[in-house]
Amino acid sequence: MPCRGANRKSSVTGFDVIVVGAGPAGSEAARAAALSGLRTLLVEEHPTVGVPNHCTGKLSYHAFREFDLPRSLALNSISAAVFHSPGGAAVHVRRAMVDSYVVDRVMFDRWLVERAVDAGAEVATGVRIMAVARDGAGMTVRGERRPAGQTFEARCRLVIDAEGAAPRLPQMLGLALPRRHALGLQYQMRGIGGLTPDTPEMFFGDGIAPGFFAWMMPLGGDRARVGLCVDPRRTRRPPVWYLDRLLATHPAIRTRAAGAVVEQKVGGRIPLLTSQAPASGLGIMIAGDAAGQVKATSGGGIYYAMIAGRIAGDVAAGYVAGHRGAVAAYERGWRRRFGREVAFTAFGRRVINRLSDREIDLLLRMIADSPQIRASIEAAGDTQFQSRVFFPLLRGVAAAALRQPVLVPLVGRAFLLGMLAQV
């Protein structure tokens, strides 16, 4: 990725906006700011945009439509899913339309950065921002160029922080972002049998992926991304221990993965159960994983990151012009678009993590045995807006509980979840 205009000889370069991190949030923020006529610098700490890749790459069809993304970026389309319960039940659901696509994150991220450059943004790769400070005249960011270790320093009016799941800069400006992380590991594999091209599979159970779940995401043919996340507060074992055991012992995957070849391994962290603390402050707006703008139930956040980045870039011109209300406009904007989903899935993760394997097994078996419940999920389900399926599912579970009293505690917890999500 070319570095346009960011390596000038002057000791300190000035910009209107500096965006830290060239993922989906940062690229969309830089593009929107540049389209507003602001001199914008997009800084990426790695020498190559998109590398390393820490993501499954599942992206909602909403994102393709809203951000005018070319279908050439998609490796595969997703319309269905299989949920494997801890006790061995399998729930199959299928929507009448495409729900999402699987993208090559390296090519996807590069395409977004190129579009930001076309809009007028300048890009600096191999620059790690290590410090930020504010003064009466604006913001100063400092870092180093890799691998030479040369000092980097630049000034701006506004910093848009899109560092990712473990941001460093907000704390330097007094912004607290309390959260905890799930630890993830994923193998991209070739030679897996029995894959349905448009149907990922999820595996649940405290012994499979404590505090989260495992997945198998088909890429086409016999290739798939197989991974899981674990909550380190629920286990001392690393993700690799659980992933290798899943491939070797799970009845629904062990024979299909026998002889499969691992092409690539990636790992990373996902912010979970984040607080509702502001994602902005004087001179800074935080977007994407850095702000905890993810679905805690699944860890997905590319679409939300792109929305938040675009909103931050859109309001940046007002902030640079001296309108301090632009910071509040950013907060209102992203919360209006998807704040309820972030809150809903955070509560959802808490509720799910309180369920025993036996309760999860009962719930999934009930769904597997009920065509009516599956039909409601298929009609209302949207992996990007999970709250939409909650009340249809709750009605189905409540009806089943009248016939199976053991399910009554599940209904009570689910009802509590729904009430909290409305707050």
Q: How far is CA 297 from CA 27, 84, 182, 352, in A?
A: 25, 16, 11, 8
Is residue 19 within 8 Å of residue 42, measured between CB atoms?
yes
Tens-binned pLDDT, residue by residue, of the chain (423 aa): 444 444 433 345 799 999 999 999 999 999 999 999 999 999 999 998 988 777 888 999 999 999 999 999 999 999 999 999 999 999 898 888 898 999 999 999 999 999 999 999 999 999 999 999 998 889 999 999 987 779 999 999 999 999 998 899 999 999 888 778 899 999 999 999 999 999 999 999 999 999 999 999 999 999 999 999 999 999 999 999 999 999 999 999 999 999 999 999 999 888 875 566 778 889 999 999 999 999 888 888 999 999 999 999 999 999 999 998 999 999 999 999 999 888 888 888 888 888 889 888 888 887 788 777 777 776 666 666 666 666 666 666 656 555 555 555 555 455 444 433 333
- What's the predicted TM-score (pTM) here? 0.88
Rg (CA), the chain: 22
Which tokens belong to 89? 């039940």
DSSP state of 337: I
Comparing CA positions, the residue from 159, 163, 172, 133 lying closest to residue 320 is 159
Tell me the three state secondary structure of residue 201: strand
Domains of the chain by range and CATH? Answer: 13-52+106-178+275-323 (3.50.50.60), 80-103+180-272 (3.30.9.10), 348-421 (no CATH)
User: How many secondary structure helices (H) and strands (E) does the chain include?
Assistant: 13, 20
Tokens, residue 34: 């540049």
Which of 330, 291, 335, 292 has the alpha carbon at shortest distance from 314? 330
